[in-house]
């Protein structure tokens, strides 16, 4: 049942199958892109109901602890999907950032789509020709969304329009979809010059005749909605907005914490983090009457700047050093490698493919010089022992149904990555680097501030400027960065709350295990238990740890 139902759900998104390099396991009958039409989405919602009902038809009382955990994992996942159905038009699908469908489509082609064979290349071109249909689906969604009283705020829509315009107004040869194809073709073995040119011509024509017109149509529709776009931010201003935000908080944090509780949690931890920063500022002799922004300008200057040409190699050396020290706290390691990939802005991770054809990749901003003080924590978060360590180990699990490897709950995944930053400090990796340690604390302040800002924006009526000022004062970021952070939280409700909530729950679980086991507590063992659970909802993480503690206590008694 698990495998059959999961396959049925997975086939609803052929892009996901290609993304994870699963076509050998889940072969595709047709070469195309995801169907985002309203009719197809509603059929998918109906499938969620059916699969959940079938799951609950099995007798959970007949299951042992491990089997029950898998049952409850799937149940939580399915129930969350069912709970999303009433909010079918609340998501901002054409926003400027990574969760915009047009942006993720571009990433799918330029970073993910295989180009190892001529068949891959032909499939790429075929899918390019399907972009117009997919974007028509997006336009249909925008029409239905606006008909339900929801239009993305004008401020972030303008950002989206700018990005869309960069493709809509470009010549085909300069469009990323074509350029990525052109640059990767030489990797196809045995490709003759004539075959290469034929493929290039086909990709050029598909970009010119399908991709660029699709972006132009999407821009036209957004421009027609722009006059009716609200000037304020926050989903609370829309019909059923408060209920939607309550859903997103549970979806992202996998807890029942309210907006008020999360808001206060952020304020409390900011107070703690600022006090920890002050200790190091005093050690460095920094004035007490300066703003965080000015203080971190000092940190950036005194900690040193890495030239753009050396950024990639510097991140590689940080990750290499981290891997050498992993056995301080781990006795389980991922089989997949992680590489540092070039990107204009960077700061994100894409996991390895299931077939081993693609390693995990930390995308680093390699176009501009970078201040050293934030580099170690970013590498620990995105690569080792953060995202890559967690995601790749989860993919290595060789027992249980496939969804345990593939489903990733934001609070666990991002919570683990933030926990990894803190773990590096606990292991002494910052001992001789006060600037790097301040970078860690600034990142932690960023995650605490997100709890306050996200709930402020979506639940408490904060203005854009109010959120920007809060970020500048409490994180120490520039106005530019603070505007970017505020815009992100405004179109991606609750996502930013997952990091700190997740880290705190992992720390709480660890402390509970330490208190119960005393001298028998083993950090390596704890990490193995947590990482091999797969990226569970935080509610189930407590159960995983409690079962581990009970088992360990039984063994030592």
pLDDT band at 344 (very low <50, low <70, confident <90, very high): confident
Among candidate residues 380, 374, 378, 364, the one with its CA nearest the CA of residue 322: 380
pLDDT of residue 465: 98
Strand 360-365 relative to strand 338-343, pairing:
parallel
pLDDT tens-digit series, residues 512-542: 999 999 999 999 999 999 999 988 999 999 9
pLDDT of residue 25: 92
pLDDT of residue 556: 75
pLDDT tens-digit series, residues 141-178: 999 999 999 999 999 999 999 999 999 999 999 999 99
pLDDT of residue 213: 98
pLDDT tens-digit series, residues 296-338: 999 999 999 999 999 999 999 999 999 999 999 999 999 999 9
Evaluated on CA atoms 177, 182, 184, 187, the torsion sign reads: positive
Start-end of H helices in 100-192: 101-107, 118-128, 131-147, 154-168, 176-184
Q: Using the 8-state DSSP alphabet, how is residue 362 labeled?
A: E
pLDDT of residue 356: 87
Q: Give the pLDDT mean for 415-436.
A: 98
Share of the chain above pLDDT 90, in %: 95
In sequence order, which residues have a C-beta less than 8 Å from that of residue 24 and are 6 or more positions away?
A: 355
Question: Distance (Å, rounded) from C-alpha 534 to C-alpha 69?
Answer: 11
Asked if residue 109 has pLDDT above 80, the reply is yes
Among candidate residues 233, 239, 261, 240, the one with its CA nearest the CA of residue 249: 261
pLDDT tens-digit series, residues 345-359: 899 999 998 888 899
More confident residue, 459 or 357: 459
Q: Give the pLDDT mean for 259-284.
A: 98
Asked if residue 257 has pLDDT above 90, the reply is yes
Q: Give the pLDDT mean for 116-127.
A: 97
What pTM was estimated for this model as a whole? 0.96
pLDDT tens-digit series, residues 173-209: 999 999 999 999 999 999 999 999 999 999 999 999 9
pLDDT of residue 399: 76
pLDDT of residue 98: 79
pLDDT tens-digit series, residues 53-100: 999 999 999 999 999 999 999 999 999 999 999 999 999 999 998 789
Q: Helix or strand or coil: residue 53?
A: helix
Share of the chain above pLDDT 70, in %: 100
């Amino acid at each position: 049942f698990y495998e059959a139902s999961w396959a049925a759900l997975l086939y609803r998104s052929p892009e996901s199958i290609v993304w994870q390099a699963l076509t050998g396991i889940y072969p595709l009958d047709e070469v195309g892109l995801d169907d985002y039409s309203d009719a197809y989405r509603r059929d998918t919602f109906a499938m969620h109901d059916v699969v959940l009902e079938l799951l609950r038809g099995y007798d959970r009382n007949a299951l042992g602890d491990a089997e029950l955990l898998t049952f409850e994992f799937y149940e939580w996942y399915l129930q969350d999907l069912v709970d999303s159905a009433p909010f079918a038009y609340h998501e901002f699908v054409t926003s400027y950032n990574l969760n915009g469908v047009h942006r993720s489509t571009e990433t799918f082609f330029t970073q993910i789509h295989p180009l190892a064979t001529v068949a891959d290349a032909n499939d790429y071109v075929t899918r390019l020709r399907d972009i117009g249909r997919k974007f028509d689906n997006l336009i249909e969604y925008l029409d239905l969304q606006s008909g339900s009283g929801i239009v993305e705020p004008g401020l972030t829509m303008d950002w989206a329009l700018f990005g869309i315009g960069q493709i809509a107004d470009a010549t085909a040869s300069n469009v990323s979809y074509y350029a990525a194809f052109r640059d990767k073709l030489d990797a196809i073995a045995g490709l003759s010059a004539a075959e290469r040119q034929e493929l290039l011509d086909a990709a050029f024509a598909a970009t010119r005749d399908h991709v660029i017109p699709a972006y132009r149509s999407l821009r036209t529709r957004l421009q027609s909605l722009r006059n009716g776009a609200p000037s304020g931010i926050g989903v609370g201003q829309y019909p059923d907005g408060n209920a939607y935000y309550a859903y997103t908080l549970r979806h992202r944090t996998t807890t029942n914490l309210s907006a008020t509780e999360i808001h206060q949690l952020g304020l409390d931890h900011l107070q703690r983090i600022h006090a920890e920063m002050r200790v190091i500022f005093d050690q460095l002799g920094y004035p007490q009457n300066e703003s965080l922004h000015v203080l971190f300008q000092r940190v950036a200057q005194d900690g040193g700047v890495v030239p753009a040409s050396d950024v990639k190699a510097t991140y590689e050396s940080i990750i290499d050093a981290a891997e050498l020290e992993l056995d301080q706290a781990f006795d389980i390691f991922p089989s997949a490698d992680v590489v540092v990939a070039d990107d204009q802005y960077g700061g994100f991770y894409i996991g390895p493919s299931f077939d081993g054809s693609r390693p995990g990749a930390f995308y680093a901003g390699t176009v501009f010089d970078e201040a050293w003080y934030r580099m170690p924590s970013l590498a620990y978060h995105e690569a080792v022992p953060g995202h890559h360590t967690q995601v790749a180990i989860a993919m290595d699990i060789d027992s249980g149904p496939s969804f345990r490897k593939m489903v990733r709950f934001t609070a666990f995944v991002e919570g683990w990555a933030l926990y990894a930053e803190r773990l590096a400090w606990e292991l002494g990796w910052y001992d001789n680097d006060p600037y790097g340690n301040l970078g860690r604390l600034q990142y932690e302040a960023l995650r605490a501030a997100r709890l306050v800002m996200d709930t402020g924006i979506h639940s408490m009526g904060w203005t854009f400027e109010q959120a920007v000022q809060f970020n500048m004062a409490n994180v120490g970021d520039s106005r530019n960065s603070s505007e970017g952070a505020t815009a992100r939280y405004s179109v991606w409700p609750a996502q930013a709350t997952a990091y700190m909530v997740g880290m705190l729950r992992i720390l709480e679980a660890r402390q509970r295990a330490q208190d119960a086991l005393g001298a028998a507590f083993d950090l390596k063992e704890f990490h193995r238990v947590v990482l091999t659970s797969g990226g569970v909802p935080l509610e189930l993480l407590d159960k995983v740890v409690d079962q581990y503690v009970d088992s360990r206590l039984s063994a030592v008694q």
